[in-house]
Amino acid sequence: MPYHIPERLLLQSVADEKVILDPESGNYYTLDAVGSRMLDLLRSTNSIEQTVARVVAEFDVSAETAGEDLMELLEQMVQHGLVQKTAG
């Protein structure tokens, strides 16, 4: 996966959402159902392209919009330290 979740973070699914806790800072974050599904797909496929294709198949959205939304989600998560870009 071009991104990975730091080991220090705790992830928990609650209904259709994800709660991400950073025990070092005490901060927690939530992802709505769509963001949660995108993260699950990215973790299982290890591919941005495959994740976008699955999002298009599951939701009423174009590939362009799905790709933009996924990249925006990842950029926000990087800014908050919730994911890190993988070298290489």
* Inside any domain, residue 87: no
Domain that holds residue 15: 3-82
CATH number at residue 29: 1.10.10
pLDDT score of 84 more than 60: yes
The DSSP call for residue 31 is E
- What would the pLDDT profile of 10-60 be if each residue is shown by its tens digit? 999 999 999 999 999 999 999 999 999 999 999 998 899 999 999 999 999
* Inside any domain, residue 59: yes
Predicted local distance difference test score (pLDDT) of residue 87 = 76
Predicted local distance difference test score (pLDDT) of residue 88 = 60
Chain-centroid distance of CA 39 in Å reads 3
- What confidence tier does 3 reach under pLDDT thresholds 50, 70, 90? confident
Predicted local distance difference test score (pLDDT) of residue 2 = 81
Domain count, the chain: 1
* Inside any domain, residue 88: no
Name every residue whose Cβ is closer than 8 Å to that of residue 36 and which is 6 or more positions away in sequence: 13, 16, 17, 18
* Inside any domain, residue 18: yes
